Amino acid sequence: MTRIVVVGSINMDLVTLAPRFPAAGETLLGERFLTVPGGKGANQAVAAARLGAEVMLVGALGRDAFGEQLARGLSDEGVDTTHVALLDDVGSGTASITVAEGDNQIVVVPAANAHVTPAQVEAARAHIERADAVLVQMEIPLETVEATVRLGRSLDVPVILNPAPAQPLPTEWLARVRYLTPNQHELATVLGDEGRTDFRELIRRAPCPVVLTRGGEGAWYREQGEPRHQAGFAVDVVDTTGAGDTFNGALAVFLREGLETAVRKACAAAALSVTRLGAQGGMPRRVELDAFLAGQAST
């Protein structure tokens, strides 16, 4: 069984469905409201677990109603939460999400996620050492992201850095990353580009291999040589929330099969995820992904 360690955020997503996005200062009647588990770390952990991996999550929750619900949900998904800290003095993280016209807008309040520490990463060293891949994002403190990248490199374990929300990163960090998985905007931000350079050129310039997501277009990736394109899969889009996290979780799970295969399966998993509502609610299980890919092969 593939072993994955995820270091990242855990949120409760507060989701509002609306006919369109409101203008500044406008009050708009929504169609539906629901609370669903989220956070990039938790999402990627659940995505990997549903695809058959053994997953451990390093993160933090508040001792509140959301925290209890989120911890229980992760355990129900088979995610090991041994290294998820429960904090008394801060609440659990939240993300306020508006979904309209097949797209989304998100505001994140980190709360407990801002207290995920390098010490927690070090405490999970034994699990990281046995892992096939480590996933980390940037909804937690930067020093903790750095500690994860450094530890993974020192243990010769592939670290996949999903740089969201994006900010410029030192070249020495990126050189330690096995794969960087941004979208086009995030790649430009990470590399300090003003957005005028073609994304393929940015992929070439990056000091580490890049797997760049392009929504329905699929993904572009480069390990050596020129960037290559994996086309997206045509599906009926319901909610794009969590598609990138599904992609990252799947990429980590299938990385042992080679980058080309992993990217194709990650694109397929992400496509399936947008056909249902909710970040984690749409994430496919292994049997669904296998059936979907078999159907694609027969057409």
Residue tagged active-site, from 89, 156, 198, 245: 245
Residue 239 annotated as part of some ligand binding site = yes
Query: What does the block give as tokens for 126?
Result: 């034994």
State which H helix or E strand residue 195 sits in. none
Residue 42 annotated as part of some ligand binding site = yes
Residue 194 annotated as part of some ligand binding site = no
DSSP class of residue 19 equals S
Residue 12 annotated as part of some ligand binding site = yes
66 with 91: CB under 8 angstroms?
Answer: yes
Residue 67 annotated as part of some ligand binding site = no
State which H helix or E strand residue 240 sits in. none
Is 245 marked active-site? Answer: yes
Residue 13 annotated as part of some ligand binding site = yes
CB environment 246-281: b (16+ within 10 A), e (fewer): bbbbbbbbbbeeebeebbbbbbbbbbbbbeebbbbb
Residue 281 annotated as part of some ligand binding site = no
One-letter amino acid at 92 equals: S
Strand ranges (DSSP E) for 159-295?
A: 159-162, 179-180, 210-213, 218-222, 228-231
Residue 241 annotated as part of some ligand binding site = yes
DSSP class of residue 257 equals G
Residue 218 annotated as part of some ligand binding site = yes
Query: What does the block give as tokens for 183?
Result: 């979208």
Residue 45 annotated as part of some ligand binding site = no
Query: What does the block give as tokens for 236?
Result: 């009926």
Residue 273 annotated as part of some ligand binding site = yes
- Binding-site residues for substrate sit at 11-13, 39-43, 139, 245
Question: Active-site residues: which are they?
Answer: 245
- Binding-site residues for K(+) sit at 239, 241, 273, 276, 278
- Binding-site residues sit at 11-13, 39-43, 139, 183, 213-218, 239, 241, 244-245, 273, 276, 278
- Binding-site residues for ATP sit at 183, 213-218, 244-245
